[in-house]
Chains A and B, each alone.
Chain A
Amino acid sequence: MIKFRLEKHSSPYWVRIIIPFAAILVTFLITSIILMVSHVNPIEAFYYFLVEPLSAKASLIEVLVKSTPLFLTGVAVSLAFASGYWNIGAEGQLIAGATAGAGIGMIVQGVSQWVGIPIMIIGGFLAGALWALLPAILKVKLSVDEIVTTLLMNYVILYLVSFLLNGPWKTTTNPGWPQSPEISLSTTFVKLIPKTRLHIGFVIALVIILVVWFLLTKTKLGYQMRASGIGRQAAYFTGINVNRTILISALLSGGIAGIAGAAEVGGIHYHLIEALSGGLGYTGIIIATLSALNPLAVIPSALFFGLIETGARSVSRALGTPIHLGGIVEGMLLLIILGAFLFQEYRIRRVKK
């Protein structure tokens, strides 16, 4: 009989690179089973899922549009996780940023977009950071588990948005689907390609990713964040102010997620709605994990997720599968990648009998 055994073994570097790709492959194999159960030809489905969106200019641009907020939530979560702060609240921080964006869009008027857009970004950042502040302070001062508090804050902001949309910011445009007043032209994000939804937020997101990468790898603060993240006790022992470092990281993470929200309002929706995010922050957690918390790897990961989200619609249109196929793939990918990371520390060995 052939027997196998799992033994602890630190993998060579190439295994670490292969893991995400292998996880994606396994995810699609399992998804195939689900597709076959629903009487859909998996190969055809994957064509519409992964290839078709890239074949036309319009859907290709749509992939980039979908990726824009994911760049930001992905890198926001990566930054926090790398510092050992388990920020599950990017979703809420994004909505806080979107709320600020909608508010700023109502107030700031009659100025150039080159003034209005930076105000939107700063406002989104501050709102996201503000929404991250309470859990971060509780963590640093009282060691309250941030996984719980950041998650709970996501629900608080949803009710706050609901209050605003049904109260002070109520409009009559679309009864049953409450939305805030349209933002001013000054605060509308510039289009990168006219007549598409691709806006300047895409470039801003890429710049922010580069900034975070630079922060984590080249600066003292980033070095201290990484040390606090993977060796908190040793970091404290060697004189790093761990609490301060984690606080900064948590606020930066919240702020970046907030920018994603402001950009969605300024570049896509032009007003605030309750369903503005629909899980962009949670997807950021999957992207950060897929990227192994490496900010630069967030770029391909987020593009891939942009493709999945676009592709899910295209499969749905062509083959009549539910649009939730995208969600199934995303969720499955997270589980499989978490499992696959086991191979960084272990290997399977055949036991000779």
Chain B
Amino acid sequence: MNAVEMHNITKTFGDLTANNQVNFTVAEGEIHALLGENGAGKTTLMRILYGLYQADSGEIYLHDHKVEISSPNDAIKCGVGMVTQHFTLVSNLTVTENLLMSERKGFLLNIPDGRERILTTAKKFGIPIQPDTLVKHLSVGEKQRVEIFKALFRNARVLIMDEPTAVLVPQEIDQLMETLQNLRSQGFAIIFISHKLNEVMTICDRITVLRDGEMIGTVNKKDVTQEELAKMMVGRETFGISRESRKEEQQQIILDVKDLSAIDKKGHLALNNISFNIKKGEILGVAGVSGNGQSELAQALSGMLKPKSGSVLFKGKEISKCTPAEIIKVGIGRIPEERNTSVVNEMTVAENIVMEHIDEFTDNGLINKRKIMEICEKLIADFNIKAKPGDRIRTLSGGNMQKALLARVLYRKPELIIVSQPTRGLDVGATEYIRLKLLEQAKMGAAVLLFSEDLDEIFALSDRIAVIYEGRIMDIIPSTKATVEQVGLLMAGASK
């Protein structure tokens, strides 16, 4: 029996058609992927199913019964649960208290009874839950599990997972996959929203592809390849780019890091005697499970974190004690992992683009607006940013915001580019564009330090791969000689 049938769903927002006559069916005991680029209409469709939006036209059937869902409350009553990337848990309450919060019957709160029921349900579904732990003490993966459990606890039979792996580290992804497979075997219908092909191929039974609000098709996993899916998703053949092999040449060392150690905000040793160098025209990829010191290393080299000891030489000049202003001045371009730490959301695209080099757009202390507009219009055209210079930057999509950041840094032709998670959360088109830009910069002679949790990205772009684990560099391997297994082992802390 089909758990969910959505017929001819159409939803428009003003001029934009987010879903156009979409048909979507999920069977019981199935993990069904909803695949598409950012803005393809995946989330809109699911928000309609969960009652956050109302469709302009179309019908929804759950277990063969026609339903009207006009609020999440209705959806929950119909047995639909949704787990978003942003968790709705109160961090200083326990798991039990969080789960009982959504129950709306009775006046008195019976914690011991609720705790019992939670444990029973947990046992029934085979999901480990620690009922007495404060939510703030849970890891991201555990919080997500509580969210999933919350839906089950409210008797959901259909579970919508909105890009569930985006917030997880690799081990947590494995655990999530295990949980989902377990639920599938118990007859749950699971909708898995994603734009990551490999995940979809690993876990899902069927895949529905959306593009620009249209349903492109539903396919069985065993009948398709990643390449075919990619083609359905982006509507073109080419997918993925990789580094041209380049000759080993004796090039000038641009960045030379020696015995760098640093303490993080919590007082832990985040970087432990790190040493490496990057030559002109070289891309050094730093691979590692998130939280092993990548952020701190990027911050230390960007002037945002003062190292405890060690030296950082940029073209022979010591920069480990420099402020961000000084780092910018010597010609280092930085693209941090959190876009919000480098753009002022409420300011315009133009104001953000010139922020690092405002002195050049200033005459006697006065802002030269004409000069700013000239450069911004040029960069917007060059980098294919879909925005006007006067738009507030927060109104841009992730991909366009990243392109704007890239434009801000790259038009200066920096000799060293420090870039963290450049394509995280971006769709295939923007990802490809940004990777090409980084390769182009290296070709033009820039040294690039690339931090990424996406191993494909590391392998596609890097000349050499450094693996970081618990604040130490485990090894640095030329990418031509490196294998995924080898890097994976090093990331997990296995010794050479």
A-to-B contact residues, CB < 8 Å: 3, 5, 10, 218-221, 223-224, 226-227, 230-231, 233-241, 351-353
Q: Which residue of B lies closest to A222 (CB)?
A: B367
| A223 with B346: CB separation less than 8 A | no
- Residue numbers in B under 8 Å from A239 (CB-CB): 323-325, 327-329, 355-356
B485 to chain A, nearest CB (A): 37
- Residue numbers in A under 8 Å from B355 (CB-CB): 227, 234-235, 238-240
| A221 with B345: CB separation less than 8 A | no
| B367 with A231: CB separation less than 8 A | no
A128 to chain B, nearest CB (A): 23
Distance in angstroms between the alpha carbons of A241 and B324 in the assembled complex: 9
Interface of B is mostly: mixed
Q: Give B350-372 interface residues, CB cut-off 8 Å to A.
A: 351, 355-356, 358-359, 362, 365-367
B-to-A contact residues, CB < 8 Å: 54, 70-71, 302, 304, 323-325, 327-329, 334, 336, 340-347, 351, 355-356, 358-359, 362, 365-367, 395
Question: Given contacts A219-B365, A220-B359, A220-B366, are A238 and B328 in contact (CB under 8 A)?
Answer: yes
| B342 with A353: CB separation less than 8 A | no
- Residue numbers in B under 8 Å from A233 (CB-CB): 340-341
| A231 with B347: CB separation less than 8 A | yes
Distance in angstroms between the alpha carbons of A237 and B352 in the assembled complex: 12
> What would be 5 A-B contacts, judged by CB atoms less than 8 Å apart?
A223-B367, A231-B345, A238-B328, A241-B325, A351-B70
- Residue numbers in A under 8 Å from B365 (CB-CB): 219-221
| B344 with A230: CB separation less than 8 A | yes
CB within 8 A of B362: which of A220, A226, A237, A351?
A: A220
| B356 with A238: CB separation less than 8 A | yes
Distance in angstroms between the alpha carbons of A69 and B242 in the assembled complex: 66
CB within 8 A of B358: which of A5, A10, A220?
A: A220
- Residue numbers in A under 8 Å from B304 (CB-CB): 236-237
A-B pairs with lowest CB-CB distance, top 8: A231-B344, A239-B325, A238-B355, A220-B362, A230-B346, A238-B356, A239-B328, A234-B344
Distance in angstroms between the alpha carbons of A215 and B343 in the assembled complex: 22
CB within 8 A of A234: which of B71, B341, B362?
A: B341
- Residue numbers in A under 8 Å from B336 (CB-CB): 237
Q: Which residue of B lies closest to A214 (CB)?
A: B366
| A235 with B367: CB separation less than 8 A | no
- Residue numbers in A under 8 Å from B323 (CB-CB): 239, 241
| B70 with A240: CB separation less than 8 A | no
CB within 8 A of A240: which of B325, B341, B345?
A: B325
- Residue numbers in B under 8 Å from A231 (CB-CB): 343-347
Distance in angstroms between the alpha carbons of A353 and B69 in the assembled complex: 9
Q: Which residue of A lies closest to B336 (CB)?
A: A237
B371 to chain A, nearest CB (A): 12
Distance in angstroms between the alpha carbons of A351 and B72 in the assembled complex: 12
CB within 8 A of A238: which of B70, B324, B366?
A: B324
A sample of 4 more A-B contacts (CB under 8 A), given A227-B344, A238-B356, is A231-B347, A235-B344, A239-B323, A239-B355
Question: Given contacts A219-B365, A220-B358, A240-B325, are A234 and B343 in contact (CB under 8 A)?
Answer: yes
- Residue numbers in A under 8 Å from B346 (CB-CB): 230-231
B340 to chain A, nearest CB (A): 7
CB within 8 A of A227: which of B341, B347, B362?
A: B347
Question: Given contacts A220-B358, A220-B362, are A238 and B342 in contact (CB under 8 A)?
Answer: yes
Distance in angstroms between the alpha carbons of A227 and B343 in the assembled complex: 9
| A219 with B367: CB separation less than 8 A | yes
| A218 with B70: CB separation less than 8 A | no
| A353 with B70: CB separation less than 8 A | yes
- Residue numbers in B under 8 Å from A219 (CB-CB): 365-367
CB within 8 A of B342: which of A3, A10, A234?
A: A234
A275 to chain B, nearest CB (A): 40
| A351 with B71: CB separation less than 8 A | yes
- Residue numbers in A under 8 Å from B342 (CB-CB): 234, 237-238
| A223 with B341: CB separation less than 8 A | no
- Residue numbers in A under 8 Å from B362 (CB-CB): 220
Query: Counting chain B CB atoms within 10 Å of each CB, which of A5, A218, A231 scores highest?
Result: A231
B51 to chain A, nearest CB (A): 10
| B70 with A220: CB separation less than 8 A | no
Distance in angstroms between the alpha carbons of A226 and B325 in the assembled complex: 18
| A237 with B341: CB separation less than 8 A | yes
Distance in angstroms between the alpha carbons of A353 and B74 in the assembled complex: 11
Distance in angstroms between the alpha carbons of A233 and B358 in the assembled complex: 17
Query: Counting chain B CB atoms within 10 Å of each CB, which of A219, A224, A234, A236 scores highest?
Result: A234
B455 to chain A, nearest CB (A): 27
| B358 with A223: CB separation less than 8 A | yes
